[in-house]
Structure 1
């Protein structure tokens, strides 16, 4: 009978060969993550917040002009679309300065299941109080009336286009511009230094991997959020039972565009600048096939959404388009699962998902 110790000389070489065959890889180093963190912060996050600040400032100016020249409504609506484009392009980043004072919810309180925005807007309009148009008021106002959904109702509904309604529109637009500017400035002055200092482990982050974990949450979790809230809610149980008014931004007819912009932003976050990216890091870790599959899914989703030639409001009620959007939903589920797998391969522990149990 063999002693259990007599097997060790045989098992050790076998184990060595098993590991050398690519089954096990060392986790990416802090230096590798730091390169990605800096690249994504400087080239992805900061420019997008700066675009939001610039576009929202132009929106505030356009709504001011609207109150003087009502014929400028189309220009104000265009400025709203530009601002919403910018917001949708950075909405996936739900950490850092955007969390301070609940700015993320103040920018966009949605989904609004109890229609609080319309109810509270109607109350403000009925009061016609000058005190409700001041920056001081909006610092303590309900999140339902201080951001983009409130502006959408005011700019895309005839019943709100009154003299006081225009003044309220301008006041809310000014509040959005202020929040956007402050977020952009604080990312540059506060959050960027925290990212830069992550390798020292003496500031906000313990190390670069901890900082990377927040960025990777911004890559993975929004896929599920967009699928569940922006797509499945209006799709509901079928074309004949669709709920188009559950769609985000249906009044301004940009629900589908929002989803496309969300996914395009996530694709850029994944692809980075090519040589320094999550995609390349995954490939370097021996997961080239998975890296390619994720990249391909982003492209397929963009192609599928681009093939729909009507608004989401109409598409969810059309049997053929409903079927296409259901395929998009299925593809997003696969993409989310693959991104979670990628995080496991990269030894990133995403931890608690705030949407768990919703």
Structure 2
């Protein structure tokens, strides 16, 4: 009896392993898991590291241990890391209006400049608590950029530098902590990374829901890029250019930020080894996948070809024509994702944060 029990148990185990091996794989789960580990988590940790360096830079600069150009470079790294994260704002960073704490855009009424000036008049001995309890307009990269780049702030003057440095350091600390908290929320035992990897869970009943969410944030980001280019071009102001509506216009990081965001979207599409959203396009729709590949290649090459200071491009008609052509490229890319790719993956896009703008 005893040997027979062992034999039956071994047979059952072998059969279970065989059935498991024969069980159909879930390509949506595999893609979601691969993108989480190889695209999303690395992007969030890179962003957190850029913010850590920016916070350290603010302290070094204010202690006269770093030059202004170095402080500006640290800001630009953080700005571009944030821009690259735009198509990946799934989960905690896309919730609770946290994105406003990182960047205030569009700033149609120069709220950044006005609120910074008002705050420092009201709180000349600014503390971290003052910033944490203040407006989101003051807590992020837009205010940091204002201090480092605006012509109204002469940081070569020691008294001016002493006045603005507490704000610079407070923003650096706020951004560093925010980014670290978000990464922790991703890496926690039941955090966002786990929820995008194993199904069902409290966020997603099945893997298809996770893929739908990933595509939605990508579509929202591409639509947002249209707004970031269209607003300064005057598409929302009867054709009158609005150069101060551009993202990161003070630091002239407008076009590099758009390129970083496109690179983030393309990483979600391609993955790191052919394991991105592209892998889920049905074989019979290979032509669609090719058109999306070409759209990314065309748009990003167009950016390379016009990578001049945005302020120069928008100042004359020929430059605006080139920027408008880039807008058309981004629009085509957005529509490919919103309609054809969504249909191919069985995703209902619905409304997004930019609808109605």
TM bucket, shorter chain: 0.7 to 0.9
**Does residue 114 of the first structure (1) align with residue 112 of the second (2)?**
no
What are the superposed Cα offsets for residues 152-197 of structure 1, whole Å, 9 maximum, x if unpaired? 0001125333202012111111111111111112111111111223
The TM-score with structure 2 as length reference comes to: 0.85
Q: Is the 8 A contact 1:96 1:191 kept in 2?
A: yes
Contact preservation (8 Å) 2:88, 2:265: no
List aligned pairs for 1:223-234, cutoff 5 A: 223-227=222-226, 229-234=227-232
* Residues 89-138 of structure 1 deviation map (CA, whole Å, 9 limit, x = unaligned): 112233312145422110011112222211110011212443x421x333
Residue among 330, 333, 343 paired with 1:332? 330
**CA deviation after TM superposition for structure 1 residue 71, in Å:** 5.9
How do 1:1-358 and structure 2 match up within 5 A? 31-69=26-64, 72-130=67-125, 132-134=126-128, 136-160=129-153, 161=155, 162=160, 163-189=162-188, 190-198=191-199, 201-227=200-226, 229-236=227-234, 241-282=240-281, 284-340=282-338, 341-358=340-357
> 1:262-298: per-residue Cα shift (whole Å, max 9, x none)?
111111110113432221321x341111100011011
TM-score w.r.t. structure 1 length? Answer: 0.85
Residue 70 of structure 1 deviates from its aligned partner by 7.2
Conserved in 2, the CA contact under 8 Å of 1:274 and 1:280? no
Does the 8 Å contact 1:197/1:203 carry over to 2?
A: no
Alpha-carbon distance between aligned partners in 2 of 1:174 and 1:202, rounded to the nearest angstrom: 33
Contact kept, 8 Å, 2:220 with 2:353, in 1: the verdict is no
Q: Distance in 1 between matches of 2:274 and 2:137?
A: 42
Which runs of 5 or more residues in structure 2 are unaligned? 1-23
How many residue pairs match? The answer is 324
Deviation per CA, 1:194-244: give whole Å up to 9, x if none.
Answer: 12232xx242211111111111112222111101x2111111269x94221
Please give the per-residue CA displacement for 1:60-85, whole angstroms capped at 9, x wherever unaligned: 11111111117621111110011111
Deviates further, 149-158 or 332-341: 332-341
Instruction: Give the whole-Å Cα distance in 2 for the aligned partners of 1:158 and 1:313.
Output: 15
How far, CA to CA, are the matches of 1:124 and 1:157 in structure 2? 16
Checking the alignment, whether the CA contact within 8 Å between 1:247 and 1:313 is kept in structure 2 is no
CA 273–67 in structure 1, closer or farther in 2 if over 3 Å, else same: closer
Q: Give the Cα–Cα distance (whole angstroms) in 1 for the partners of residues 201 and 256 of structure 2.
A: 42
Query: Secondary structure at 2:353's aligned position in 1?
Result: coil
Unaligned runs of 5+ in 1: 1-28
Give yes or no for contact 1:30–1:209 (8 Å, CA) kept in 2. Answer: no
1:30, distance to aligned residue in structure 2 (A): 8.3
Range 103-112 or range 269-278, more displaced? 269-278
Cα distance in 1 for residues equivalent to 2:96 and 2:344: 35
- The alignment partner of 1:249 has SS state of coil
> Structure 1: how far apart are the matches of 2:147 and 2:315?
26
